[in-house]
Amino acid sequence: MTANELPLTGLLVVDMSQFLSGPYASLRLMDLGARVIKIERPDGGDLSRRLYLSDTEIGGDSTIFHAINRAKESLAIDLKNEADLKALKALLARADVLIQNFRPGVIQRLGLDYEAVKAINPRLVYASISGYGEEGPWVSRPGQDLLAQSRSGLMWLNGDESQGPVPFGLAVGDMLAGAAIVQGILAALVRRGISGQGAHIETSLMESLIDFQFEVLTTHLNDGRRLPKRSDFRSAHAYLSAPYGVYQTKDSYLALAMTPLPKLADLLGLDALAPYRDQPATWFTARDAIKCIIAEKLASEPTDYWLAILEPADIWCAKVLNWEELLQSEGFKVLDMLQTVERDDNVSIETTRSPIRVNGKRAKFDRAAPRIGEHSDRIRKEFGL
């Protein structure tokens, strides 16, 4: 699939964001065909260029920067320079989308808040991502993923009851906020096609993390506001009964989802589950005791042995794969989710592809993330900046 076949072909996105949430949003728009011009400071660029997840550096930048900024263009702009600011405003006059994730108040001081930019380009869809919204006691606090997770209540859903709060091993707030802002941007673009007017789309890490919990939070709000109690053994969901969880086998790990306990007891030959099998209420209240019985049995044989018994009986189960096993699996290979992107300074990086298919095809790009200001001269000439 070429860029010209993608649904957002012809749209210009000016991305003034950095780190993860905003760049993730512009990455998704780029994967759908939009042209993304990334605005970076001439002296250092996006701070995520130096946000290292490991000691691997490619072409002077971190792997995370490459992963989230592939195939974008970089325009170096000094926002404190009057001529550069004038050039940026000229670019915004011709853009379709602007994405920014400055701390609240900063964009206003730069004279690039929504009302100011709307006066330049009424058709622009202006997207803002913050840590905690635009008002309240948390507004001035750092909008960082771990801190947002901490304030959202999310950590009390992970791990076993005795562990204390357990954060996600991913910047889940950033990714969810980026995905949410993309939904708003696309809806605003559709509306613009009807009304001719742009819009201001806003979300925050906190709002996205709250929405992420909508199912279990709704249960809490309508269940006497009782706090959830996680299982203290192999917990996988604070509100689900046994056998829901991940169990160690003789050679690896096996996940069991929603499964009727009597059927599982018969398949595994577990007479010890007799006191619970016909009392569904105990599957939750006694879930730790039940899971301990199941765990002892599953530890006696390899994972494939149990899969051969459970899968033909339509038990919802799966082997827990690490990344090496995932990458070698046929289920992963058939999705064709990897691509290699390159740059003219011998940078080459293997990374993921878009999760979205359009008309049965997944977009593929071959251009790596840009150097700071790599495309400045061409962009300035093209737009007369």
d(CA 92, CA 99) in angstroms, rounded, equals: 11
- Cβ neighbours of residue 353 closer than 8 Å, sequence gap 6 or more: 31, 336, 337, 338, 339, 362, 363, 364
How does residue 1 score in pLDDT terms, banded at 50, 70 and 90? low
Confidence of residue 132 (pLDDT cuts 50, 70, 90): very high
Which stretch of 43-57, 74-88, 92-106, 353-367 has the lowest confidence by average pLDDT?
43-57
Q: What are the chain's domains?
A: 3-212+337-383 (3.40.50.10540), 245-328 (3.30.1540.10)
3-state secondary structure 235-264: CCCCCCCCCCEEEECCCCEEEECCCCHHHH
Give the mean model confidence (pLDDT) for residues 105-110. Answer: 93
Q: What single-letter DSSP state applies at residue 64?
A: H
Most distant CA pair in the chain, distance: 79
Q: Among residues of the chain, what percentage have pLDDT more than 70?
A: 99
So what's the pLDDT on residue 56? 83
How high is the mean pLDDT of the chain?
94
Q: Contact 379/73 with Cβ under 8 angstroms? A: yes
pLDDT tens, residue by residue, 5-26: 899 999 999 999 999 999 999 9
Over 70: is that where the pLDDT of 4 sits? no
pLDDT (tens digit, 9 = 90+) per residue, 150-202?
999 999 999 999 999 999 989 999 999 999 999 999 999 999 999 999 999 99
Using DSSP's 3-state secondary structure scheme, residue 210 falls into helix
Mean pLDDT confidence for 328-346: 94
- Written in H, E and C, the secondary structure of 139-164 is CCCCCCHHHHHHHHCHHHHCCCHHHC
| Distances 217 to 3, 104, 181, 200, 225 between C-alpha atoms, Å | 41, 27, 22, 28, 9
Does the pTM surpass 0.85? The reply is: yes
Helices and strands (DSSP H and E) totals, the chain: 17, 15
